[in-house]
Amino acid sequence: MNPESLLAALPGVAIAPEAIQVLPDARAYRNCLLERIAAATRRIVIVALYLQEDEAGQEVLDALYQAKAARPALEITVVVDWFRARRGLLGAGRQPGNAAWYQAQRQLRGLEVAIHGVPVQTRELFGVLHLKGSIIDDCVLYTGASLNNVYLHRFDRYRLDRYHLFESAALADAMAGLVQRLLHPTATPRLDLPPAPAPRGLRGDIRRLRARLRRMAYEVPAAPGEPCLRVVPLLGVGRGNPLNRSLCALLAAARSQIVISTPYFNPPRVVMREIDHALDRGVRIELIVGHRTANDFYIAPGEPFSASGALPYLYEDNLRTFARRRHTAIACGQLVVRIWNDPGHTFHAKGVWVDQRYSLLTGNNLNPRGFNLDLENGLLIDDPLGQWLVPRAVELEGIRRHAPQIAAASDLGEKAEHPKDVRKFLRRLRYSRLEPLIKRVL
């Protein structure tokens, strides 16, 4: 099946253009989320990598408990990654994790706000819950953001993401339905109730859960016969999944333009291959990538170094190599590379825009880990009639605002300019021959 036919056959939900709203920034998303929670009447399903114990996380959890107290019949489910909830922040030493906070809050409130942990693999290193999209009554709030101070711009710093609001009962039902089918009494334990099971005791349940996930899909109507604006929800876990196939089909279907945004430049081979095929076809490609200092793993000079602090430089090295090998395309303007940098803030916007028709929203980092290990999803907006071009263009211009174009790979600097600790770590990594393996799990 050619890529155009594959995309056209994907089942999706027909939607009016005015039913899709792009929220401009993290503060607008936080306000919208809190307002929608306060107004909910039937159901709230919050899905995120984590709900953090900080001021913004407390604000969200307070809103959920207040909504439950006001309307006891309201069904509230929060779904987060099981491993992430049971550990502290990277580099912060031993901490009880957010699960202890969830339990303390439940004991304090005495209300039923169920918080489930989903273990996608037997170890966090080999896969996490990376589903996105929260459902409140008949609307879907879709973003790659988790729930903490930086993602929600609670104080001075923000982490830029993408924020979309869909008013669609069919889409909300499909996404809530998948979450309900995902949850399992033993495989996805309650984190707000003690005692938490030991990781070793969950291994069998986790393997069965992952096998079941491979067979799962969003239940939506068949593709409509007439061209119309529609939203296609896609699920992805493991190699060759529907999200991966659709993403590659998007790149293969491009005839004039591709825009790719990712905070971490580490594309899998299949994506790199489709990029090069598109360049060969004469397609104009634009990459928007976060500057190393806009990476959430970045460690400023003078702060204690850890291995994770080398990751921004590794991503930068990947991009520099990519740009050097395609210097001719950059010089003639066919390949545009933009580096997002708003000093003091971080970058987390992910997605793909193809021609003037397709827009993919996803939490997938478009890297080997996202393609092979994590549980991912995405919403593909298919706009064959050009009904949603203005909001699409406005969002893209907003992402480009702090992303100037580079003229050549040399604009990214040189490896010799990396801090001494980073150079030492990356040199050891290369000599150990572990670099290819490391890149697969980043």
Residues linked to residue 420 through DSSP beta bridges, in sequence order: none
Question: Which two three-digit tokens encode residue 360?
Answer: 């993919």
Query: Cα–Cα distance between 315 and 296 in angstroms, integer?
Result: 12
Distance CA 32, CA 335 (A): 36
Domains 18-215 and 230-441 belong to one CATH topology: yes
Q: Could you tell me the mean pLDDT of each successive run of 10 residues in the chain, 442 residues long?
A: 91 96 98 98 97 98 98 98 78 68 96 95 85 97 98 98 98 97 92 81 87 92 83 93 96 98 95 98 98 94 87 94 97 98 97 98 94 95 97 98 97 90 84 65 56
Question: Given this model, what pLDDT does residue 442 score?
Answer: 56
CATH of domain 230-441: 3.30.870.10
Class of domain 18-215: alpha beta
Q: What is the DSSP string of 292-309?
A: GGGSTT---TTSPP-GGG
Please write the tens of the pLDDT for every residue from 289-331.
Answer: 999 999 999 998 888 888 889 899 999 999 999 999 999 999 9
310 SS3 class: helix
Among residues of the chain, what percentage have pLDDT more than 90?
78
Task: Measure the CA–CA gap between 137 and 380, rounded to whole angstroms.
Answer: 21
Angle, helices 26-39/55-70, rounded to nearest 10 degrees:
20
217: its two tokens:
């899909």
SS3 at position 122: coil
**Residue 93: predicted pLDDT:** 47
| Among candidate residues 57, 40, 58, the one with its CA nearest the CA of residue 48 | 57
Domain ranges of the chain: 18-215, 230-441
Q: What is the pLDDT of residue 121?
A: 86
For residue 332, count CB atoms less than 10 angstroms from its CB and return exposed for 0-12, middle for 13-18, buried for 19 or more: exposed
- As a whole number of angstroms, the distance between CA 175 and CA 43 comes to 12
Q: What is the dihedral of CA 208, 209, 215, 216, to 10 degrees?
A: 160
Which residues are catalytic, by number? 130, 161, 348, 376
User: CA-CA distance, 315 to 422, in Å (whole number)?
Assistant: 12
pTM of the entire predicted model: 0.94
